[in-house]
Every structure is written in structure tokens, then in C-alpha cells.
A and B are shown apart, each in its own frame.
Chain A
Amino acid sequence: MAGPVSRLGDIKLSRRRFIAYSGLTMTAAACNPIAAPSSGSPATRAPSASGGAAGSATPSQTAGAVLRYGRAGDITDFNPWDISGSETEVYNQVFSRLVWRDSDGKEHLDLAESYELAPDGKTVTIKVRSGVKWHDGKDFTAADYVTMYGYLTDPAMAEDPNIGEMKGVLEKITGVEAPDPTTLILKASAPVPYIADILDYWHAIRIDNPTDFGFVATPPVGTGPFKLTEVIPSQSVTFEANPDYYVEGQPVLGGFAISLYGGATNLLQNLQSDSVDGILVANPAEIASVAGDDAYRVDVTPGGGVWDVYFNVRKAPFDKPEVRQALSYAMDREAMVKAGDEGLEMGVTTPFNNPSSLGYKAELVTAHPYDLAKAKALLDAAGVKDLKIVYPSPSSIPRSETYGLIWQASLKEIGVTLEIQPVDDARWGDIGSGKDPNTDLVIWNNGRGNRDPAIFWSTQRNFGGGAETIWGYNNPELIALVAQGAAEVDQAKRTTIYQQANQILVDSSHVLVISTRSQYWVYNAKVKDIDVDLIGAIVLAGASIGA
């Protein structure tokens, strides 16, 4: 594969070794989950996982260097509350949060110095850092979080989709108080055992202009390591180091500049022509062109996402669980990820494939190994013959067609016809929204598999098995388990509950998970110490560029 493939700068890992490595790390982390978030339990850490110089530049670094980064597509929303947004390069540079979780799921205190969840799980007391300043020089205090909570009920912001998304995350929080500048108290209507994820989501923002939800017209004001200084739509976004950043010696970089390229077709050329120092590659096949070149490094960041297929269970014979299982057994996931993802992904059958997840159960990660005989037997038992399936394949996602072709060949051997139907992205979006009742199935992608399962199920509504499931899947047992898990304070009990839910998901749900979904960053080898958070967003506070 491409030169060094790793997540962290100097560690050379293949994809599989990386997964194994991170799995071990996460298992260790899972043994000591948030059960002990007592005062100061998570370490306060400068966001530089690879141990790079968290401070001023060393002799091997270029002091005050500007990291030039190129990305496909425009940035149309700088608000980190846009939870499903894809601006993963921006959020952690401009904004801070109370707690952040790294790619291994480990917690790190950020704006919070400590936090404590009351035994009943309904009150959280947070000690907030003092001496923090917003980018415009104003003091940041706990009262700013009270103001932010007020945004959720401000009629002037009612139409903002970002506010709507944050309302979902904070739905159990009924009150926020700041008795003094460094104390913040959150009160909830029901236990919030997944409070670390809430604190991780809650970036500190200031909406000074309620008509500019996305901070596009005027640069956002945050408390993070970089200030956003200029946005030229469709062209560039420029950041400069925040001299008042509260972590001593950070940021190391003098600035950060994003060039916005319309399509993803020429991103690599920009890196190869030294126009930029790093890019995010959408198609893993492109990575092959820098294979073996020591001038570049590829970082694969899993981020907890999966590629999957939704079955329309309102339509026969997809209403039968055994038919869905048969189609899962007929899926050669290993061949799919090898051909479609250059082997950088893993074939999996559940979104809870990361050992750090409470729902993780090792035997469910690859629960349906490729077995055509079993698939045929299941179809025969269900009385299904000459099945024809239409598989819409979005044009912008090459792996979708590759997956489809491999599945098509396998299914043909057991008498099932899979018709691959190319569709444009907008049409794909319509199909995925359930607008076409004749849909057999649709390939889709979902995230947050390494979040607390309560967050996963509250955001991935189509997995839930209830009235909100647009594909007609309804499972009262799953609904009950999800509700119990979100309210249970005992971590051991939560683990059991979510593992049961995971089992139902794999055995009988309408979602057939295919593979993990990562992000692929390619950097100039001089770029060092880039960190990644739980959702795969980069953290540049400790990043540097070698001399």
C-alpha cells in the first residue's frame, strides 16, 4: 500500500495491524470506561497523541510554518454544531469543547478542568478553565455555556438546522447554570450516563449574528488554537495561530490554510506539485499513486462509520429476516473491501465493531462469513426463488459499484439477480430518504459506531426499529433495549443491554452492514503530530512541519 500507512505520524502500520493495534488500545480503554469521571479523572492533555513537541518548535521543526491543506468541495458551514457536517478540518482548530475524545475513545479534558456526574446520573458539575479568551479577546466563562444553551430556545435561531441537531444531543438536559465563572452545572430530566459524549459534542460557539448560522458571512469566534481570519467562498479559508490559546506552547504552527478545490479529481496532483501539504482522499484507489513514496504518508482514521445496505422490509421477500440473512451470507466482504477499498477497510456485520464501544461483541463483528451454501439454504427455507433485486449505485461513490459487482457475481451463483442501477447523487439521496416505495434496497453510510450507543441510536434513527424507521422495520424489543440503555447508570448493565441490541441488529434488522468507513489523509512526510478525534476530525494544535 501507500508508503507508510499509519494513523500516527511516525508509526508505520498496515491497515490491519493498525486496526489490531487500536483494538488493543481500545480494549484497554474499555476496561476503564467513564465509570470514574470523578474530579479530574481524565488527563488534561495537549492534543498531540503522537507525543510530538507540544510546545514551541524544536530544531527539526519549522517555527511558525503554515500548514497548507487541500480539500474537495466547498465549506458552507463553519458551525461545529453541524453534527453531521463534513468540515472535519475546521472544527477542532477554531473551537474548543469541554471534553474531547481521541480516536481511541480516550477522554481528554479541554475547556473543562474536571467534571463529575452525580450518582443519580442527572446532575453534572463541571469545573471550567479560567483565563480562557475568545478569539476577539473577551473572557470565556462558564456563563457562556448558559448563553449557548439559550440558543436552543431562541426564536431567532429556531430555523437553524445546527441548533436543531444540538437540541437532539441535549434533549435530556433541562437546565444549565453557572453559579460562578468557573463552575457549570448541567441538570437532566433523566440519567445521562453518556455525559462524556455530550461534553465532547458541545463545542463552545458564539452566535453574534443570528442570521449567519454557519459563520460564513463573518468569521466565527472560538476559543481554539487557530483564529479563522479569511473565507473566500469556493477558494480558500485561512487561519492564524491564536496567541492566547490556553494550552502552553500551542499551537506550534503559525497558521493553517485550506484551498478549496471543486472536485476530488485533482487533489493528489496538488499534493504532488507541492501546492499543499495534506489532502483528504475520498477514493482509496487514488492512494495507490503515492504507494511506496517516502515523500508522503497516509493516515487512515476509522471514525466509527460503516457502509451498509438498508432493505425495504415493506416489500416482500425482504420482510423475512432469513432472506436478509441469506443475502448477508452471500456477501463476500473480504473481496469487496479488497477491490473497493484497496484493503484499507474491514468487512464487518455491525457498526459496533470497535472494542471501545459498549455494544461491542467480538463474535458479531464478522457474524455472517461468506457462505453461499448457507445463503442458498436460507433462501430455500424461506421459499424464495428467482429473486431479482435492484441496487441503486451512486455515481460519486466508486466503491458502491465495486461492492455491487462482487455481490452480483456471488448472488448469481445462488440464482439471485442483482441489477446495478447507476443513479446520480441527488437521486440516491431521494432513494435513501425513502421517497420511492418500490425500492428494494439502498447502499448507505452511517457514523458514530464508536460513540456511546445512546448517541448512536439517537442520531442513526434508521437503525432504531420504530416508527421513525422509514424502511418499515419495527422491533419493540430493540426499541425497549435502546431506551433502557440510554437511562441505565450502571455501566455493566448498559454493556449487557447494548450487546443484546447489537445481537438483534445483526440477526434480524433491516440493515446489512458491509464494511468500516474510514477517512484517508495523505500528507507530505514533513507534516507531523496531527491528532484525530473520535469522529475522525483532525486536531492541529500540536501539529508541526519538519524542516
Chain B
Amino acid sequence: MGRYVLTRLLQFLPTLFIASVVVFLVIQASPGDPARIKLGPEATPEQVAIERTRLGLDEPLPVRYVIWLSDAVRLDLGRSFQSNLPVTDVVFDAFGYTVRLALAAGAIATTLGISAGILAALFRGRSLDIVISTMSAVLLSLPSFVIGIVLILVFAVNLRWLPSSGAGRTGQALLDGLRYLIMPAVALGLPFAAVLTRFMRAAMIEALGQDHVLTARAKGLKPVTVVGRHAVRNALVPTITIAGISLGTLLAGAVVIETVFSYPGLGRLIVGAIFNRDYPIVQAGLILAAVVLLGMSLLVDLMYGILDPRIRTGRSGS
């Protein structure tokens, strides 16, 4: 297992290198002068020229890349063009918020999605199944930002139960902080829950019809044991695959949700930085996102092994 993890980690390096080149080229070659944006419309060409020099934009693109890469491998990601704050601090602070949001959304999605999928499968063709399937179809067809806006209008503007944006202040009580997290997490998690519901339902229906489950039933095991130990566990493997693959979608969705709720996560940070052509922030933010996605992919692979020992040992089920 250790060797497998090490091999996978080493495979990350060329992927990250390619990602860094693409990210660097795309952002730095796009139109828009960071110095002009920073100084505003009244700045004279001389002031803009001085600022370009200060920001290191006078150097040719390849030189800038080499400088950036050599600093980055020493974990020095530079300073934000806009705020002059260390990029590492800014990006990791924002990443902390995104992780919090993604974990909350993931918890909501997996809890709701897997439970609803199991229930729908167990009550296949009955009213509960129809209600769950209809709800999941509706949630799948709604973009998360629409859900977000509806939540804001209902729970913030009309009922005034929850704050409509932001993440609160430092030093606030834990519950106050959670109030800011509820709506973004629900808006992000619900479409994801709908996806998981459908996959879990299908996987459960398949699992419930398999021989070993029928055998377990025939042996007179309690229905809870049959479903929990034999059906759900098998059904979770494909569902977790989907969950892992969908994590990228969850992160992409976080960009939109963080913007809708002005939640100070990595997505909002990167979007703002792209508009301001804050190259160091965009580069660091996107590379971090790439690392997270690669890491999640590895984690999913490892989860397979835990859920299904046949995968870990390379044995087939037949």
C-alpha cells in the first residue's frame, strides 16, 4: 500500500508541472494590465510603467515563469499584486473556508443522498420512491446558484433567520459561524445529494438482487443486517466512485456558490483575482485546486481498497 501511495504521489509531479505551465500561460497571456488595474483609470503611463517594474512584469514571460517556479518550490508564492499580502497566507486562509464549505456540503450531500437512495431502492416503485426520484430530478435540473438565490430570498430577506452573505467575524461563537455556513453548504450540497441519490438507488437495487444478498435473506438474517451489511456496503463502492469523481464538480460549484454568498473561500478569491489580474493569487489558487483534485482522486482509490478488499489485494470476485 505504501509503495502504491508513493508511486501515485510521484505521478503527481509531471501533472502539476504541466498544470503550472498552463495556468501561468493562460493567466499571464490574457489581456489586461495588472498595474493599470491596480492604479486605476487616472494613473499616468509613467506611474503604470513604474508599477509594472515593481510587480516584475517587465521581464519576458519565460523568465517570469522560471522565477515563479523556483520560488514556488521553496513555498514562496510571492505577494498579491493588489494587497501586497503574502500569497501563501491569503490562499490558505481562503482554502480553509472552502474546505469548511466543501465538508459541510459533502456531509449534507452524502447523508441526504445515500439515505434517500437507500430508501428509494427499498421502496422501489412506491410513493416514497416516486417522491424521492422527483425531488432528485428537480434538484439536478436546478443550478446551485438558483438554489442559493432562493435560499437567500426566503431565509435571509424574508424570514431574516440567516445572514445572506459573508462568513461572520473572527472571535464569534461557533454557532454564529455556522449560521453563515448553512445556506452556502445547502445550496452546494443539494444538487450533489441528488446525484448521489440516483446512483445509490441504482446500486442498491442491483445489490439487493445479487445472489449473496438473496442467500443472506434465505438464511433468515434480519432485514437490517441484510441491507446494512450485505447490500449497502456493496452499493457504496460505485457510489463513492461517483462521489470522488463529483468532488471536482463540488469544487467548481463552490466557485459559484462562494460568489453568490460572498463566502471568502478559494473560489471567490480566484474569481476576484482573475478580474484584477492578480497573477500570483490566481496561479497559487489554481495550483492548490489541482493538488486537491489529485489528492482526492488518490483518496478515492484508497477508499476502494478499504470498502472492497478484493481491489486492494488484486483478487477478482469470481
Contacts and interface: CB of A to CB of B under 8 A. Distances in A.
B93 A275 contact: no
Q: Give me the 6 closest cross-chain CB pairs, A-B, nearest first.
A: A426-B32, A261-B262, A84-B40, A273-B156, A76-B83, A84-B42
A212 B84 contact: yes
Contacts of A265: 259-260
Contacts of A424: 31-32, 275
B84 A213 contact: yes
B90 interface: yes
B159 to A, nearest CB: 9
A447 B42 contact: yes
Contacts of B41: 84, 429, 432, 444-446
Given A74-B272, A468-B44, A266 B51 contact: no
B311 to A, nearest CB: 42
A262 B44 contact: no
Nearest to A272: B157
B82 interface: yes
A433 B36 contact: yes
Contacts of A274: 160
Interface string A85-126: 110000000000000000000000000000000000000000
Interface in A249-268: 257, 259-263, 265-266
B85 A266 contact: no
B42 A446 contact: yes
A270 interface: yes
Nearest to A432: B41
A235 B166 contact: yes
Given A74-B83, A235-B264, A425-B275, A230 B32 contact: no
B258 interface: yes
Contacts of A445: 41
Interface in A434-472: 435, 444-447, 459-461, 468, 470
Nearest to B277: A426
A149 B21 CA distance: 45
A274 B268 CA distance: 23
B228 to A, nearest CB: 43
B305 interface: no
B163 A216 contact: no
A420 to B, nearest CB: 18
Nearest to A426: B32
Contacts of B293: none
Interface of B: 30-33, 36-45, 47-48, 50-51, 54, 80, 82-85, 90, 93-94, 152-153, 156-157, 160, 163-167, 169-170, 258-262, 264, 268-269, 271-272, 275, 277
B42 A459 contact: yes
Given A266-B152, A269-B152, 11 more contacts: A74-B82, A164-B50, A214-B84, A261-B165, A261-B262, A269-B157, A272-B156, A273-B163, A275-B165, A429-B36, A430-B32
B162 to A, nearest CB: 8
17 contacts: A70-B165, A74-B272, A76-B80, A161-B47, A233-B83, A234-B264, A235-B167, A235-B169, A263-B259, A269-B152, A269-B165, A273-B156, A273-B157, A426-B31, A429-B33, A430-B32, A468-B44
Nearest to B278: A76
Contacts of B90: 233-234
Interface centre among A232, A236, A263, by most chain B C-beta atoms within 10 angstroms, is A263
A216 B32 contact: no
B82 A76 contact: yes
A320 to B, nearest CB: 26
Interface residues of A, number: 58
A462 to B, nearest CB: 9
A447 B40 CA distance: 12
A461 B44 contact: yes
Nearest to A468: B44
A244 interface: no
Interface of A: 70, 73-74, 76-77, 83-86, 159, 161, 164-165, 212-214, 216-217, 230, 232-236, 238, 257, 259-263, 265-266, 269-270, 272-275, 396, 424-427, 429-430, 432-433, 435, 444-447, 459-461, 468, 470
Given A159-B54, A275-B164, A262 B258 contact: yes
Nearest to B258: A262
Contacts of B164: 266, 269-270, 273, 275
Contacts of B44: 461, 468
A76 B90 CA distance: 12
B170 A232 contact: yes
Nearest to A434: B45
Contacts of A260: 166, 262, 264
Contacts of A238: 169
A164 B39 CA distance: 11
A259 B262 CA distance: 10
A74 B31 CA distance: 22
B277 to A, nearest CB: 5
A396 B90 CA distance: 25
Interface centre among A73, A161, A165, by most chain B C-beta atoms within 10 angstroms, is A161
A232 B170 CA distance: 8
Contact of B37 (A212, A234, A429, A459): A429
A470 B165 CA distance: 42
A90 to B, nearest CB: 14
Contacts of A396: 275
A262 B272 contact: yes
Interface centre among A85, A165, A234, by most chain B C-beta atoms within 10 angstroms, is A234
A159 B84 contact: no
B45 A433 contact: yes
A426 B275 contact: yes
Nearest to B37: A429
B170 A85 contact: no
A165 B38 CA distance: 13
A213 B152 CA distance: 38
